[in-house]
Amino acid sequence: MFRSNQKLRLPLKTALRVYWPWLSGLVIAAALIFLVPPVSSHHTAMLVVFFAGALPAMWPSLAKDAPYSFWMVACVLWFCLGLFFTVLKAAF
């Protein structure tokens, strides 16, 4: 009688396989923020670079194609990349 117009979300494994390019912006943003001194010294530049990397990673979840756990994977990726690039910068 009543039909649901909601699309079914992809499983996390499938969403990661389909939408991995959307997460690449986070890698580039983290590299710029943590490794490039001119970007990390200007707060406005950091904000622009962060949102330029985070919004595409958020889009599959906002568009209701990927599960919410896709965004959680993106958040964990961001924190791990920050740690990795910080250690990399300290090592060299």
At 4 the pLDDT is 60
Residue 1, domain member (yes or no) = no
Domain residue limits at 36: 20-91
Q: What are phi and psi of 36, to 5 degrees?
A: -105, 110
Q: Is residue 71 part of a domain?
A: yes
Look up residue 79 and give its two tokens.
Answer: 């924190």
Kindly state whether residue 25 falls inside one of the protein's structural domains: yes
Would the pLDDT of 2 be above 70? no
**Considering the entire predicted model, what is its pTM?**
0.83
In a domain, 49, yes or no: yes
Taking only the tens place, the pLDDT of each residue in 8-65 is 889 999 999 999 999 999 999 999 999 998 888 999 999 999 999 999 999 999 988 8
Q: Which of 32, 38, 35, 83 is nearest to 54 (CA)?
A: 32
Q: How far is CA 31 from the centre of its chain?
A: 13
Question: Are the C-beta atoms of 63 and 9 separated by less than 8 Å?
Answer: no
Q: SS3 of 47, please?
A: helix
